[in-house]
Structure 1
Amino acid sequence: MGFLEWLSSKVGGGKSVSISGDEIDDILQEYTSTICIREAAFWTAANILANALSKCEFKTYVKGEEKKGSEYYLWNYEPNKNQNSSVFLHKLIAKLCRDNECLVICIGEQLLVADSYTKNEKVLFENTFTEVTVGDFSFQKTFYQSDVLFFELNNKNMRQVVNDLYGEYEKLIQYSISAYQKSRGRKFLFEYDTLPVAGSEERKNFDDLIKNKFKKFIESDNAVLPLGKGQKVDETAQKTYAAETTRDIRAMIDDISDFTAKGFGIHPSLLRGDVQGTKDALDFTLTFAVDPLVDMIQEEIIRKRYGFKAFSEGTYLKIDTRVIKHIDLFSISTSIDKLIGSGVFCVNDILQLCGENPIDEPWAKQHFITKNYELVEDALRAMKGGEKNEDNLET
């Protein structure tokens, strides 16, 4: 089906209808504006997820001890020769959100996000991927499931669900925009004695007056409109404004953002750009959107690039999401004191959480606890007045 046939069927509700060139321009403008609203909401949601993931630190452990070797550098700095980690992760999330799945192939020491591929699903054996392309290069080989990283976002493609919902809602938005524009428009009455004969010079001038000169006259701030004998132009009575305002239309456009945000587990206020309640909205998004996404990516990396044997020995990768939030040191100074004083974190742990370099001193790696903490048994014994001797026996 050609473009014009498709367009006429869309306008005709599934049936092909005849449309003129001017009608095509109007229809394209309408569809372009509605698509932009939908795409803006979708890509804003995708960018929120991608930005959150790119802030995370991909930590690598070898036999239970954190190490910063080649695998750490691969995920946090240079996954391939042409992309840094942020660009790579943004492309990964964009493909994942748009297509509900994403294929990452491993070529030597490089990780590449496939632009297109054919997935051959099997039940008892490994799935295979053929016709894999990255950019303008096509791989002439078959990739097996165990050789690649394959991510799936949801059982159902949420972008398609949101698009279907928006397909109905966009009619309401277009109606409101049209009603608003009509209520703000100017109306004129044109009177004339006789209609010139078709094909005559007078008819050509008459048609030019209707189609061109009137439009320029109405749209210009200052203009003169030459009229012939028996012709008269009068503006109708003062226009009456419809009840709708641009804020009403904006509210309906915000509804599209809300639909999209809910589809991806993001708090709607983040997509709308609201400042109030940002902390709660961010916590909601981290819990229901970012953390599940990170878990899915982390699990696929561990099972494909490490395996059970290495994992059982304490060699694995962990994506740390604690650095996503912006940290104001002055606002959390009391919390920092509690974390160190309770012995949960050492000084270097806190420095790393705050984005600072660790201190290369033995005391910075030690855990401290204040004297306010003691065993429950000791506290009860003190309340009863009992004391302990050197052999730790009550006297």
Structure 2
Amino acid sequence: MDAIFKRNSELGFIYDVELFQDTSTRVHMKRLAIETCASFLGRTISQSEFRIRKGRGFEKDELYYRLNVRPNKNMTASTFWQTVIEKLIYDNECLIIQADDEDLLIADNFQHNSYAVLEDTFSKVKIKEYEFKRSFKQNEVLHLRYRNESLSPLIDGLFADYGDLFGRILNSQKRKNQIRGTVDIEAQVAKNSDTLEKLQTFIDKIYKAFGEKDIAIVPQQPGFKYNENSAGGNGGQSVEEINKVTNGFLDQVAMAIGIPVSLLHGDMADVEKQTKNFMMFTVNPLLKKIRDEGNSKFFSKDDYLDGKKLEIKPISYLSLFDLANDIDKLISSGAFTGNEIRNEVDYEKSKDPMLDKHFITKNYQEMQPTTEGGEEK
């Protein structure tokens, strides 16, 4: 029995190698999908304008400058808000604090201390290499949450399946296109250890030449013969199938975040409809989270009730020229004034008193009752 096991030990080792081969997880596929979706959403929101409304007009003050131009010494507003959104996607929450010089800073790490009745606090707030010694109360910071539950477990669950499938297809494709060869060595050469060592060095040079050069010539040696066996063919998985798996995972992540897949891939069919849905159901809810948090922290209750509040004008996918005919109908019918229309398209109120009046330029007339029975007596 022992002889049988000893005789087949090499065969058993080969089987063990196959069993212990670890399937590649391909973490870069996961990173690319999340980065693509997060940056797409971040770039969209970073183009918004943050405005301070006071009554029926807008004012430009220090807060307006911080939100739209330079939140802190090291970031522009577009970079700042794109970072906020990407952090929301990755970490499910984002903490923004205001330093003593009124700079708005994004915390890289912090500890959230939640309480049932008392006000929450944030301790161990760290920005780059600096950690604040003090704790911040909830009313002193902007604390944004993306979802009730973190998106990470969902993405990790998807990636567990897609990453395994992607790794298997990629490894299969590599084996399909692998160059394989055999080496025949005469018995007399095989007995000489010095000659074998030289031949091994020669074989290593051949493999390196195949990997680095398009054309490699193998010189024949006495007692040594190299035969190449191509592993090509039409079997196995194709590169298109690898791309399908990658795009499939990207599409699942996009759907979880709320980004229309057609917009992400640059499809032109129904682009206006898809953009409208993206703005309505994904961008605007996120902007409302930021607006509500800003209104509750930047202004007091009395200020807000007096009409001072934060408003956010998102990027428009339609220009005024696209809306010109509809605007003309609304004003010419007398239904709205010019300033009411300006407010709806996120423009400041005009000081011209004519834009506060109603006009009817079409032939709209009230129906008059008709007289029956011929001439009046």
Instruction: Establish whether TM, by shorter chain, passes 0.5.
Output: yes
Aligned residue for 1:112, secondary structure, equals strand
Please point out which of 57, 68, 88 is paired with 2:60: 68
**Does structure 2 retain, via aligned residues, the 8 Å contact 1:104–1:148?**
yes
Aligned equivalent of 2:209, options 194, 212, 216: 216
Counterpart CA distance in 1 for 2:230 and 2:183 is 14
> Does the alignment pair 1:314 with 2:307?
yes
Q: 1:119 aligns with which of 108, 112, 120?
A: 112
The equivalent residue for 1:391 is: none
Which secondary structure does the structure 2 equivalent of 1:187 belong to?
strand
Q: Does 2:157 match 1:164?
A: yes
Residue in structure 2 matched with residue 107 of structure 1 by the alignment: 99
Report how far residue 366 of structure 1 moved.
Answer: 4.9
Question: 109-118 vs 206-215, which deviates more?
Answer: 206-215
* Residue aligned with 2:187, SS: coil
Q: How many residues align?
A: 352
Q: Which consecutive residues of structure 2, in runs of 5 or more, have no partner in the other structure?
A: 1-16, 373-377
Alignment partners' CA distance in 2, 1:293 and 1:176:
38
Of the three residues 341, 344, 349, the one matched with 2:336 is 344
Q: Does 1:304 align with 2:326?
A: no
| Equivalence for 1:8 | none
Q: How does 1:69-218 map to 2 (within 5 A)?
A: 69-108=61-100, 109-194=102-187, 200-217=193-210
CA distance in 1, matches of 2:192, 2:301: 86
In 2, the alpha carbon distance for the partners of 1:328 and 1:201 equals 84
Separation in 2, partners of 1:107, 1:367: 49
| CA deviation after TM superposition for structure 1 residue 208, in Å | 1.7
CA distance in 2 between counterparts of 1:100 and 1:301 reads 18
Structure 1, 48-57 or 76-85: larger mean CA deviation: 76-85
Query: Are the equivalent residues in 1 in contact too, given 2:27–2:163 (CA < 8 A)?
Result: no
- Conservation of the 8 A alpha-carbon contact between 2:179 and 2:230: no
| TM-superposed deviation, 1:124 | 1.4
How far residue 239 of structure 1 moved from its aligned partner, in angstroms, is: 3.1
Query: Which one of the candidate residues 238, 246, 257 is aligned to 2:250?
Result: 257
Q: Is the 8 A contact 1:97 1:153 kept in 2?
A: yes
Which residue of structure 2 aligns with residue 57 of structure 1? 49
- Say whether the 8 Å CA contact 1:114–1:133 is kept in structure 2: yes
1:231 to 1:255, Cα distance in 2 relative to 1, 3 A: same
- Alpha-carbon spacing, 1:227–1:367, altered in 2? closer, same or farther (3 Å): farther
Question: Amino acid of the residue matched to residue 50 of structure 2?
Answer: F
- Shift in Å, 1:266: 1.1
Out of 39, 60, 73, the position equivalent to 1:47 is 39
Q: Distance in 2 between matches of 1:385 and 1:274?
A: 61
Q: 1:269 to 1:232 in 2, by over 3 A?
A: same
Q: Which amino acid aligns with 1:225?
A: V
Pairwise CA RMSD of aligned residues?
A: 3.2
Deviations 1:121-178 (A, max 9, x none): 1111111111212233222211011111100101111133212311221111122222
Tell me which residue corresponds to 2:5: none
SS across alignment from 2:285: helix
Asked which structure has the greater RCO (Cα within 8 Å, sep 6+), the reply is: 2
Does residue 282 of the first structure (1) align with residue 307 of the second (2)? no
Taking a change above 3 Å as real, the CA distance of residues 284 and 202 of structure 1, as seen in their structure-2 partners, is: same
Letter in 1 for 2:31: E
Q: Distance in 2 between matches of 1:262 and 1:199?
A: 65
Structure 1 residues 325, 71: CA separation in 2 closer, same or farther (over 3 Å shift)? same
Asked if 2 retains the 8 angstrom alpha-carbon contact of 1:214 and 1:225, the reply is no
Query: Residue 235 of structure 1 aligns to a residue in which SS?
Result: strand
Does structure 1 retain, via aligned residues, the 8 Å contact 2:303–2:309?
yes
1:199–1:72: structure 2 CA closer, same or farther, 3 Å change rule? farther
Please say which of residues 196-205 and 96-105 is displaced more in the overlay.
Answer: 196-205
Unaligned runs of 5+ in 1: 1-18, 387-395
In 2 relative to 1, CA 221–83 (structure 1 residues): closer, same or farther, beyond 3 Å?
Answer: closer
Compared CA separation, residues 246 and 309, structure 1 to 2 (3 A):
same
CA distance in 1, matches of 2:116, 2:275: 40
- Equivalent residue for 2:225? 232
**Compared CA separation, residues 195 and 339, structure 1 to 2 (3 A):** farther
Contact 2:110 2:125 in 1 (8 A): yes
The question of whether the paired residues in 2 share the 8 Å contact of 1:352 and 1:358 is answered with no
The TM-score, its normalising length taken from structure 1, stands at: 0.78
Q: Secondary structure at the match of 1:91?
A: helix
Q: Which letter does structure 2 place at the counterpart of 1:90?
A: Q
TM-score by length of 2: 0.81
Q: Match for residue 333 of structure 1? A: 324
Task: Report deviation, 1:107.
Answer: 2.5
Q: Against the structure 1 CA distance between its residues 72 and 217, is the aligned structure 2 distance closer, same or farther, given a 3 Å change threshold? A: closer
Secondary structure of 1:227 counterpart: coil
1:51 positional shift? 1.7
Runs of 4+ in structure 1 over 4 Å off: 195-199, 347-355, 357-362, 364-367
Superposed CA offset, 1:303-349 (max 9, x none):
1222332222222112223x3325272x4432332244344352795
Amino acid at match of 1:86: S
Identity %: 26
The answer to whether the Cα contact below 8 Å between 1:266 and 1:284 also exists between their aligned partners in 2 is no
Change (3 A) 1:328 1:307: closer
Do the aligned partners of 2:338 and 2:355 also contact (CA within 8 Å) in 1? yes
